[in-house]
Amino acid sequence: MSTFTKDHTQEAIKERGEVFTPEALVEEMLAKLPDVFFTSAEKTILDNSCGNGNFLVKTLEWRLQHHVPYLDAISTLYGVELDPKNAEECRQRLSRGSKDKATWRILNRNIICADALDDLHPGWDEVGYMWSGNGEEQVQRRKLKELREKAVAEKKKKTSTDDSAAQMFLDL
């Protein structure tokens, strides 16, 4: 049983649909996967809305029970979470209290605070969307998108100002 518990505020539920999967349900769902996901670190597990890591932590536990070395076990666990506090809690839980630099290098790269449905979200800047390695390209694409949005807003503002001036002229 996990020592981490999560109280949901009505605000978190309303704003982000934040509901954490109970441990018994996590175990039931993971039990439906082929054993190879737990006996080998070659299989990648991605939780695209990982919360505080219930699925990833249980996967890690099962891998360790199958004698998969710890660093190998975490190296193919990936998580995406919108809430920075939840993402940090997920990393902490997966670290199992380790202060080891190699552990934290993996966890900081593999557990991302980002929007899994938005490839231009700033959380993807370092690793690229879904760890594609194209973070720099994404920064450029996001900047281009922001410039386009700014230009559209300015054009609307100018059009609105022009319409107001034309209306004032017509009112004379």
By three-state DSSP, how is residue 32 classified?
coil
Query: Which of 36-40, 59-63, 120-124, 135-139 holds the top average pLDDT?
Result: 59-63
Residue 1's Cα: distance from chain center in Å?
A: 24
Q: What is the pTM of this model?
A: 0.72
**How is the chain split into domains, by residue range?**
10-117
The answer to whether the beta carbons of residues 143 and 122 sit under 8 Å apart is no
Q: pLDDT at residue 48 above 60? A: yes
Provide the greatest CA pair distance for the chain: 85
pLDDT in tens, 1-47: 344 445 556 666 666 667 778 889 999 999 999 999 999 889 999 99
Residues in the chain: 172
